[in-house]
Structure 1
Amino acid sequence: MYAPERQREIVSLARAVGRVDVRGLAQCLEVTQETVRRDLTTLEQAGLLRRVHGGAIPAERLDLEPPVAEREGRMMAEKERIATAALDELPDGGSVVLDAGTTTVRLAQLLPTDRELTVVTHALPVASLLAPRPNVTVHLLGGVVRTRTLAAVGDWARESLGSLFVDVAFLGTNGLSADHGLTTPDLAEATVKRALVERSRRTVVLADHMKIGRRDFAHVCPLASVDAVITDTGLSDALATEVEAAGPTVVRA
């Protein structure tokens, strides 16, 4: 197989499954890992792929932030395990932040009914889910609602957080890497997420393994500001070690 044919196959695989890894490609294409790395570099330079730790993702994934309804059906089993593991991070009482995101919505659904909790959120799905709960006091931050995430962003949301200090913040993220920390496609949402981290004693990030090693447009915070990352068992040992070296504990549920 010539290089152009091999590279077309790599792009097709990446688009079909969302991510490719060097070792798997080398075995599939019957070439060395160094050959695969050269192909990935060529494809990245052509704007077709984006290199991440151990492999690559399609470049179009960096420019597209799917709406909430589309993301809800993705990696449901992994999100269930992540949200269940996150329950161990809840305070016995006290206050938590629930960020926008499909995994944080699942955490909201799993919140216990036998303890009093104060929940601060800028996510409309989280607020509407928890508002009827008698044991939960919901503080909904105001702002401009982003249609893709149904999260309130802007100065109103950020300034409202200035008078609060919560026990634990549960954050979602689009990208997480040792070098660039937490990232997201939208600047306004990144600003609110950063404020959530700053106004919390402890920060726990909920992210499936496809988001780890990825970098998006807007920086939220370094991993040194994060206490724990809860992900799934699809995360490699090498990448888990790299993330932990940057600061947070990694839990693979």
Structure 2
Amino acid sequence: MYAEERHQAIAELVATRGRVAVTELASRFDVTTETVRRDLSQLERLKLLRRVHGGAVSMRSVTMLEAQLPERDHAQEDEKERIARAAVTLLPEGGCTLLLDAGSTTVRLAALLPPSEHWTVITHAVPIAALLAPLPHVELHLLPGRVRPTTQAAVGHATVEAIGQFRADLAFLGTNGISVRHGLSTPDPEEAATKRALIESAQRAVVVSDATKVGQERTVRFAAVEDVDVLVTDDSIEEADAKAFEAAGLDVVRA
């Protein structure tokens, strides 16, 4: 098979299935994984697919994902993409159980879950659920509750109670503000209660947040800095802020 024929076959397969893994493509076309990655890079430049960790997804899936995010979430897109990719490196081999908070960065993280592993994902975010529901390598649990139009996430007593029934290996969550003094905070009390429950139900909690949130203090605190384990942020974070978080016991990963 010529390279051009292989490219066309790969593009058609991704368009049909929505997502494919590098290892599967290498086996199917009897080429090396390095060749497949070069193929995917060329097809991505032609906007026929989008490369993700371990494989590729169709542009239709990406368009659907972006359409479900509020317009305000398009700020700091490059930073959020880097943060999501850095957060994926914290995932253990062999898969695990994840709690995914609502947010534009966590939805990017969801799109990057390696298809070579099995993931149990528990989420209250409608865009994340819509993205993951068709994927065979994900066992999805969608939490109940009232869906807020602003965040497209379920909140309320039913949501918090449902989260408490689970025990996850990792929780990935967003925040509207983070400071050593005030901790992690958000404007809405129901969102805060949900985020607090996510942290309490996970063995480790990872905050994914661009550096514009650092130093911000919103109305409702949902966790102290020492209640979470890792902050994944972008490389524009001030060195003094990073050192302050680290002194408070928080691992800081710069993307």
Match of 2:123 among 121, 124, 129: 121
Q: How far apart are the structure 1 equivalents of 2:237 and 2:115?
A: 32
What is the aligned partner in structure 2 of residue 145 from structure 1? 147
Partner of 2:90: 89
Other-structure match for 1:71: 72
Secondary structure of the residue that 2:151 maps to in structure 1? coil
For residues 107 and 175 of structure 1, the distance between their equivalents in structure 2, rounded to whole angstroms, comes to 20
Query: Aligned residue pairs: how many?
Result: 187
Q: Deviations over 1:55-106 (max 9, x none)?
A: xxxxxxxxxxxx9422232111100110000011113212001100000010
3-state SS of paired residue (1:251) = strand
The answer on whether the counterparts of 1:91 and 1:167 sit within 8 Å (CA) in structure 2 is no
**How far apart are 1:170 and its partner, in Å?**
0.2
| Residue number among 154, 172, 175 corresponding to 1:170 in the alignment | 172
Provide the residue aligned with 1:160 in structure 2.
162
TM-score (norm 1): 0.72
The secondary structure found in structure 1 opposite 2:240 is: helix
| Match 1:110 to one of 109, 112, 126 | 112
Any idea what the Cα deviations from partners look like across 1:148-203, whole Å, max 9, x if unmatched? 00010001100011211000000000000001111001000100100000000000
Following the alignment from structure 2 to structure 1, what is the Cα–Cα distance between the partners of residues 164 and 174? 21
Structure 2 CA distance for aligned equivalents of residues 152 and 85 of structure 1: 26
Runs of at least 5 residues in structure 2 that lack an aligned partner in the other structure: 1-67
1:152 and 1:228 map into 2 onto residues whose CA distance is 25
* 3-state SS of 2:203 partner: strand
Cα deviation, residue 247, structure 1 = 1.8
Question: Paired residue for 1:27?
Answer: none
Cα contact 2:230–2:252 (8 A) shared by 1? yes
Corresponding residue number in structure 2 for 1:195: 197
Q: What percentage of residue pairs aligned between the two structures are identical?
A: 50
For the residue of structure 2 that corresponds to 1:119, the secondary structure is strand
Distance 1:134 1:71 in 2: 31
- Give the CA RMSD over aligned residues: 1.1
Any idea what SS the aligned residue of 1:72 has? helix
Mapped to 1, the partners of 2:211 and 2:164 lie a distance apart of 32
Unaligned runs of 5+ in 1: 1-66
Amino acid at match of 1:140: L
The equivalent residue for 1:239 is 241
Moved over 3 A (4+): none
TM-score by structure 2 length?
A: 0.72
